[in-house]
Chains A and B, each alone.
Chain A
């Protein structure tokens, strides 16, 4: 009869462990959804966006809502998945929009949702001048504001 007691104890502990794990799992899922669909922080570095972004690296907050509704406009600083290396994310400014989001009656076969992105530092930037216009769907977020370094906290201009 002792093993029956052990079994019940084990069942209680297992249920507790499962509850704790499921709380952690739900939290991780919430983290993923927030990071992918709402807002996330990115560390950006490099000379291609001087003087808007610092050479030594900034942390910026980017939102992931605008691009899903087509609300990316001229002059926006966006996070783009590089067309030359899909593992790299680059930060550039939108300087040209093509395609049927601008004209209401475009022929759907001719429609071309491409965006020209250029770095603010035109002397040290590989961008649409090198790899051409990028398909709109490579845009993953729009920069919102800079949070680090603290002396440069605020919107990017």
Chain B
């Protein structure tokens, strides 16, 4: 009788230990997630570059298992002050779930010469183009984009290690 009771008691204590363990782990994961999300929103984040529309700046070779990973700075979103030559990450104006990485080649008030005519970049917008003009879906297709769509500015390449570098300008 006493042995059976002891077993039940031990099992109860063990169960409680595992429960508190799971609770502790969940709490730590939740806190870590919230801190990570805040850092990623306000400080910087690392994103992979897909495709070759920014070749040779990113992904100079076509093999996709060596995609570049870049550091995206979020401090620039405090005042949305961008300059010509900045490489930015922005949400697509036509497919809201997709993000593109392109270079700003026109700031508000400037004139951009496209295939047939000359277009003025409106206030609050910018003209973006990929470095690899032959294979890039950019402002030449969807027009100037509102600066509000920009999610961050690319400052460095952080992976693979042999391509580590700071973007100029």
B residues near A85, Cβ cutoff 8 Å: 123-124
Quick check: is A51 within 8 A (CB to CB) of the other chain? no
Q: A108-B95, A113-B96, A135-B93 are in contact. Are A29 and B38 (CB under 8 A)?
A: yes
Which of B35, B80, B96, B123 is A135 in contact with, Cβ under 8 Å?
B96
A42 and B149 alpha carbons, distance in the complex (Å): 21
Shortest Cβ gap from A26 to chain B (Å)? 6
Chain A min CB distance to B75 (Å): 15
Query: Distance in Å from the Cβ of B99 to the closest Cβ of chain A?
Result: 9
Please state if B96 and A29 are interface contacts (CB–CB under 8 Å): no
Known contacts A87-B79, A137-B149: does B124 contact A82 (CB below 8 Å)?
yes
Label chain A's interface by main secondary structure.
mixed
B-facing mask of A65-107, CB < 8 A → 1, else 0? Answer: 0000000000000000111111100000000000110000000
Q: Which residues of A contact B38 (CB under 8 A)?
A: 28-29, 32-33
The tally of residues in A whose CB lies under 8 Å from a CB in B reads 28
With known contacts A83-B124, A86-B124, A32–B41 Cβ distance under 8 A: yes
Given A82-B124, A86-B80, A86-B146, decide whether A137 and B34 contact each other with a Cβ distance below 8 A: no
User: Count of B residues near A, CB < 8 Å?
Assistant: 25
In the bound complex, residues from chain B placing their C-beta under 8 Å from that of A135 are 91-94, 96, 145-146, 149
Q: How far is the CA of A85 from the CA of B147 in the complex (A)?
A: 8
Asked whether B119 is an interface residue with its Cβ less than 8 Å from the other chain, the reply is: no
B-side contacts of A100, CB under 8 Å: 95
Residues of A near B148 (CB, < 8 A) are: 81-83, 86, 138
Please name all residues of chain B whose beta carbon is closer than 8 Å to the beta carbon of A137 when the two chains form the complex.
Answer: 91-93, 96, 149
Closest 10 CB pairs of A and B: A81-B148, A137-B91, A83-B146, A29-B38, A135-B93, A86-B147, A86-B148, A136-B96, A84-B124, A137-B96
A29-B37, A82-B124 known; 16 new pairs, CB 8 Å cut-off, are A25-B35, A29-B34, A33-B37, A84-B124, A86-B80, A86-B146, A99-B94, A112-B93, A113-B92, A113-B93, A113-B96, A114-B94, A135-B94, A136-B96, A137-B149, A138-B146
Residues of chain B whose beta carbon lies under 8 Å from any beta carbon of chain A: 31, 34-35, 37-38, 41-42, 79-80, 91-96, 122-125, 145-150
What are 28 A-B interface contacts by the 8 Å CB criterion?
A26-B35, A29-B35, A32-B41, A33-B38, A37-B37, A82-B124, A82-B148, A83-B125, A83-B146, A83-B148, A84-B124, A86-B80, A86-B124, A86-B150, A87-B80, A108-B95, A112-B94, A113-B92, A113-B94, A113-B96, A134-B146, A135-B91, A135-B94, A135-B96, A137-B92, A138-B146, A138-B148, A138-B149
